[in-house]
Structure 1
Amino acid sequence: MPTTTRAAVLWEVGGDWIIEDVELDDPKEGDVLVKMVVAGMCHSDEHSVTGDLPLGLPVIGGHEGAGIVEAVGPGVKSLAVGDHVSMSFIPSCGRCKSCVSGKGYLCDEGGKLFDVGMMSDGRIAHTCKGEPIARYAQLGTFSEHILVSENSLIKVEPDLPMHAVALVSCGVATGFGSATERAGTKPGETVAVVGIGGIGINAVQGAKAAGASRIIAIDPVEFKREKAMELGATHTFESMEAAQAEVPGLTWGDMCDRVILSPGVVTGDMIAPALGLTSKGGTLVVTGLASMAAMDVQMNLFMLSMMNQEVKGTIFGSMNPRHQIPKLLSMYREGNLKLDELVTTRYKLDDVNEGYKAMREGTNIRGVIEFS
């Protein structure tokens, strides 16, 4: 029998998330029905509200979360009823060229992330008020139940706190991997992180784990700078311009070996000052999302060549979800990764708009929705 669930739905750009009753199909081949326990409130969902990421609407929000398997469809092999799972907004099929070459974060199934139909077979399996409804990144974790592909779920140990399991499914992995994997931070280096939100704060943790000697956190919000110091930053500045004036003195003129650009919204005029913080032979990693329509970037191409610098993009921190999500949770269990400290406020599903208001005002590092 189809399942009726309550979910936060966005009907129009600029609108609020509206709590609606949504009809879910039964699990078919490769599908899994999950009862949600915790959903993380990531800034990426805000991009669908502002229109920077023009999704097909209506859409159920949320792509970061943890839950418990309630039912599985035919052919599901890696999961069983009762399993605790972390969601991965990057699916991992294990068969495509990217997956078998060790780049699961570029899985071909990612091309289906914003389709209305199911990832497994393309059918319409979610409806609201008689209309087909999409799910953010084929997940839609702002919902009491979700119907998703097995490829988007990773089994975790059942004794782990569900807020930790939720956080590693997007923001923690993306930020941590930006510093460790994509930037390639080495012991003793200087790393700057621009934008200390749910991703940037974990780039700070990644830089610390990689052995960086100086970790410079840059954000206009004092609360976020203070939080960065608690989780591993050694210096903070309110802007890239302020950092530009002081970093030469901290590094004997060398500047930063690695710079992670992770503000809420990346704009083209941020690249030049970020490269200004980057050393000769250094690496700039652009982690934050820009508007899909943005085409213009300001940078000095002569200096890019003469300084032998790199500019890299990244998705999911260039980490493989099936390997890295359990690894990050193991680090948390051993006390080497701070996750409890990331949760600023806990909300009910009905308070989702309050949580995003706090995020916009800069008073949340990470809000989470807890389902009863």
Structure 2
Amino acid sequence: MAKAAILEQPGKGLVIGHVELADPGPHEVLIDTKACGLCHSDLHFIEGTYPHPVPAIPGHEAAGVVRAVGSEVRMVKPGDHVVTCLSAFCGQCEFCVTGRMALCLGGGTRRSSAQSPRIKRLIDNSPVAQMLNLSAFCEQMLIHENACVAIDKAMPLDRAAVLGCAVTTGAGAIFNACKVVPGETVAVIGCGGVGLATINAAKIAGAGKVIAIDPIKEKRDLAEVLGATHVVDSAADDAADQVLKLTGGGVDHAIEAVGREASADMAVKILRRGGTATILGMMPLDCKVGLGALDLLGGKKLQGAIMGMNHFPVDLPRLVDFYLRGLLDLDSIVADRIQLEAINEGFETMKSGHAARSVVVFN
């Protein structure tokens, strides 16, 4: 039996209840969840902006300790400290074998409809949908072995949790999707958890100017702590012009980390000739972003980068090493730690826009 925050009806918040997890199958891992970050992507499903079968357990930015493993598991063992990732990869499809693991649809990593579900409600034995391969707002997770990776046990698990989404996405955008070269200019639009991680990674990569763009002063101040060399109030009428002036014509990389059509349009607008706009945020499903004729003539590029186009088993241990060496500042990204029972209040705090990352900690 495990306590969980369950989405029963979109727009009605989460309900604390109890579920039962199945025994691990051959390639499955049972994990005692120790911490899970509150991500804006969860909010999209909780509020019904993005559809998902219900009842379901959200949560996808987590760390924990392996309790048990299936007969064929070779990646981890009981007692290992692990970080989980929603982009579970099969290892066999075209995307996986060409090094684009984040694009894998992961069909082979989930149980089929003919199999018993991984999660059931304790009260009536009815199935509970597993969200994004994880369902981490629960005291335990039952996942495919390719959705987790073992980490150094010196890594604090409450900070390790945010590596699972915000930092993997933000740092992955810098290192994998954009391949930032030392000295290049980077602008980050939106200084939430993902944006702050992007800024920190840009500093690690040796970017020349790192410009943080956000309407909230507290977040701009925090961005400077994490490596921004300049900040711009995105609510200012001349915000884009300020960036163009700061950079003498635009940035090499503009990274959108909010999920708003206006901020994506700004990302394109502040590019220099030959620059690349990278969209990380989950936008409303009817949004469209594009390049104009002059943008195309100027060699500008536009790309998505789901989960930072991560190579999770390789990237995660490196990010842990960056933290343990003092290069990656996760302490500043984690704003507060809350209990599972306070999760709805945590999402209300997120919607206010003034805090970085809240993390649910499990005793």
With structure 1 as the length reference, what TM-score do the two structures score? 0.92
More deviation in 177-186 or 319-328? 177-186
Q: Which of 36, 42, 57 lines up with 2:33 in the alignment?
A: 36
Cα offset, 1:121, TM superposition: 7.9
The Cα offsets for residues 112-138 of structure 1, whole Å up to 9 and x where unpaired, read as 78xxx6379853121124321112211
What does residue range 318-357 of structure 1 map to in structure 2 within 5 Å? 318-357=309-348
The Cα offsets for residues 14-60 of structure 1, whole Å up to 9 and x where unpaired, read as 11111111121111221111111111111110010222211111110
1:246 maps to 2:267: no
SS of aligned partner of 1:239: coil
CA distance in 1, matches of 2:66, 2:137: 16
Alpha-carbon RMSD across the aligned residues, in angstroms, is: 1.9
The Cα offsets for residues 286-335 of structure 1, whole Å up to 9 and x where unpaired, read as 010112x31544x4521221221000000121120000000100111111
Structure 2 stretches lacking a partner, 5+ long? none
Q: Which of 348, 355, 361 lines up with 2:352 in the alignment?
A: 361
1:95 maps to 2:88: no
SS of aligned partner of 2:32: strand
Q: Which of 94, 103, 108 lines up with 1:106 in the alignment?
A: 103
1:83 maps to 2:80: yes
Letter in 2 for 1:224: K
Question: For residue 212 of structure 2, what is the aligned residue in structure 1?
Answer: 217
CA distance in 2, matches of 1:275, 1:362: 24
Q: Is the 8 A contact 2:120 2:127 kept in 1?
A: yes
Q: Which of 197, 200, 213 lines up with 2:195 in the alignment?
A: 200
SS of aligned partner of 1:259: strand
1:189 maps to 2:180: no
Question: For residue 260 of structure 2, what is the aligned residue in structure 1?
Answer: 266
Cα offset, 1:92, TM superposition: 2.8
Letter in 2 for 1:15: K
Letter in 1 for 2:239: A
Question: For residue 48 of structure 2, what is the aligned residue in structure 1?
Answer: 51
CA distance in 2, matches of 1:273, 1:165: 32
CA distance in 2, matches of 1:28, 1:182: 34
Letter in 1 for 2:229: T
CA distance in 2, matches of 1:93, 1:76: 14
CA distance in 2, matches of 1:142, 1:104: 25
1:275 maps to 2:272: no
Q: Is the 8 A contact 1:39 1:141 kept in 2?
A: yes
Distance 1:73 1:256, change over 3 A: same
Cα offset, 1:274, TM superposition: 2.1
Q: Is the 8 A contact 2:189 2:263 kept in 1?
A: no
The Cα offsets for residues 155-210 of structure 1, whole Å up to 9 and x where unpaired, read as 11222111222111111010111123212222112111001111000110121112
Letter in 2 for 1:161: P
% same residue: 34
The Cα offsets for residues 46-102 of structure 1, whole Å up to 9 and x where unpaired, read as 010222211111110100111111111221122221111110111133333222222
The Cα offsets for residues 230-288 of structure 1, whole Å up to 9 and x where unpaired, read as 00001111217432222232222x2111100011x332x44333211111110000010
CA distance in 2, matches of 1:226, 1:175: 18
More deviation in 273-282 or 223-232? 273-282
With structure 2 as the length reference, what TM-score do the two structures score? 0.94
CA distance in 2, matches of 1:119, 1:139: 15
Question: For residue 294 of structure 1, what is the aligned residue in structure 2?
Answer: 286
Q: Is the 8 A contact 1:286 1:314 kept in 2?
A: yes
CA distance in 2, matches of 1:172, 1:259: 17
What does residue range 18-33 of structure 1 map to in structure 2 within 5 Å? 18-33=15-30
1:61 maps to 2:58: yes
SS of aligned partner of 1:132: coil
